[in-house]
Amino acid sequence: MNQLNVKIPEKKRGLAGWLLAGYVFFLPVQFPTGFGFRLAPSDLFLLIVLFVGIGRIRLIKSAWSIWHYCIFTVFVMGTFVAVVTHGQLTQYVLVQKLLGLLLLFCTYGTITTFCNDWQHIRWLVKVFFWGVVIHNLIAIVTYFIARLFYYDFTWINYGIRLAGMLMDPNAYGGLLVLAFTLQIVTSVGKYPLVKGVWGLLSALSLITGILLTFSRSAWIGLAFLMVSASVFKPKITLKIAILGGASIAGVLLLAGNQFWQVIVSMASRQDQIDYRLDFIQTALDRFSDSPLFGVGLGTFALEYGWIIHNTLIWFLAEFGILGVSVFIGFFLWFLLKGFYAYKSVHESEKFLILSFIIGHIGMLGVSMGIEALYQRHWWLIFAFIASGYSIVKNNEFSRLLIAERGEVR
């Protein structure tokens, strides 16, 4: 019997499993707090998991590397540089950066502990996928009600740009790109994430959402997805192109042909491009002030009131050559471990791990327009890749152990 047909008993998932399901399902949701940051229900689920199961969370050796520790060290060093330079530790750095990074590491450790077989991984991926699809459908429906009937929904979306309850079109677009990748890549294999018409409709809704975010960061991520997918399966790129065309046609049919001018106008916002280029130039100028260690974590938010909307440039400016080297190493570690798992895994999970790899590459594209390292959904992919790699290594070790015992006998 194929392993995909073996149902995991509900009790095997346990309380931690269902709490993690709540975490991934509510990733598309955040609420404003009035204190300069947004509250994510997912973090509440994570805190409950940590409270009730902290003793059961293990550091899976094969899921961690020197790069994980280096990333954390770089942030500590960046904080030290900022405190020495400015003489203060801001709330932004302490809460949103350091505490935020710590929560992401806790998420990673919890998921890699729970996902100790492919059944758990596939189940959690499906919960994440349907969570995104459902929230995206709500966002699209409210979007068109607002456009067609001039009704203002203050709790969802961002004006003319689709943003769901994340209220950030770029972050939301990256989330949609990732969920879309999971479905579109697995759909060309024998074991798609969602089969048949439901899989097709969900993929269509997601790419429609990506279009309506008018997020060039998300569109770059989609381009990265198409290019990387064409290397493995050109059929994936063709399906994306067809779905994209159908999405544009459907939107124009519903909103009217005049909406095409909105699409063109939003895609060619030259003022935003100029602003971003100015930000990058300023960041590069500041990098020259301290090329090795950077100017310190949170310096741009403190001195200029804005952040660098490019992850690599952000690392280069605030953490220096040392920091950007660590980020590149961190990214490549997951890419290489993903490829290792892809080569070794059973056929039934090959396209699932491939969707993680391509999603990882897609998020690199998204990172060219936002500080993507803090996106929870990217860390979800980190954890899935590491878990898949760990399962493969454990299986190899078990086979080796059995072979050695057989030789002894």
Residue 150 DSSP code: -
Residue 181 to residue 128: CA distance in whole angstroms: 12
pTM: 0.92
143-198 pLDDT, tens digit each: 999 988 888 888 888 889 999 999 899 999 999 999 999 999 999 999 999 999 99
Nearest to 327 by CA among 342, 338, 340, 314: 314
Q: Which tokens sit at 296?
A: 């310190």
Mean residue pLDDT across the chain = 90
Per-residue pLDDT at 86 exceeds 60: yes
Nearest to 72 by CA among 321, 309, 326: 326
CA angle 69, 176, 237 (to 5 degrees): 100
More confident residue, 265 or 325: 325
Nearest to 143 by CA among 119, 131, 126, 159: 159
- Which stretch of 47-56, 59-68, 167-176, 202-211 has the lowest confidence by average pLDDT? 47-56
- Which stretch of 35-44, 173-182, 189-198, 213-222 has the lowest confidence by average pLDDT? 35-44
Cβ neighbors of 115 (< 8 A, separation 6 or more) are 121, 124, 383, 384, 387
The three state secondary structure string of 134-157 is HHHHHHHHHHHHHHHHCCCCCCCC
* Contact status, residue 288 vs residue 72, Cβ threshold 8 Å: no
Strand partners, 39: 31
Q: Which residue has the tokens 């009937």?
A: 149
Distances (CA, A) of 273 to 169, 270, 344: 16, 5, 43
Q: What integer pLDDT is reported at residue 7 of this predicted model?
A: 47
Residue 328 to residue 330: CA distance in whole angstroms: 5
H/E element, 351: helix 347-366
Q: Which tokens sit at 107?
A: 């998420």
In the chain, how long is the greatest CA-to-CA distance? 78
Sort 192 into a burial class: Cβ within 10 Å, 0-12 / 13-18 / 19+. buried
pLDDT tier, 125 (very low <50, low <70, confident <90, very high otherwise): very high
pLDDT tier, 408 (very low <50, low <70, confident <90, very high otherwise): very low
59-77 pLDDT, tens digit each: 899 999 999 999 999 999 9
Q: What is the DSSP string of 7-66?
A: PPPHHHHHHHHHHHHHHHHTTTB-EE-SSSSEE-HHHHHHHHHHHHHGGG----GGG--H
Residue 292 to residue 299: CA distance in whole angstroms: 16
Cβ neighbors of 68 (< 8 A, separation 6 or more) are 105, 108, 330
Q: Which tokens sit at 275?
A: 């602003």
Other beta carbons within 10 Å of 35: 9
Nearest to 319 by CA among 364, 363, 273, 373: 373
* Contact status, residue 162 vs residue 213, Cβ threshold 8 Å: yes
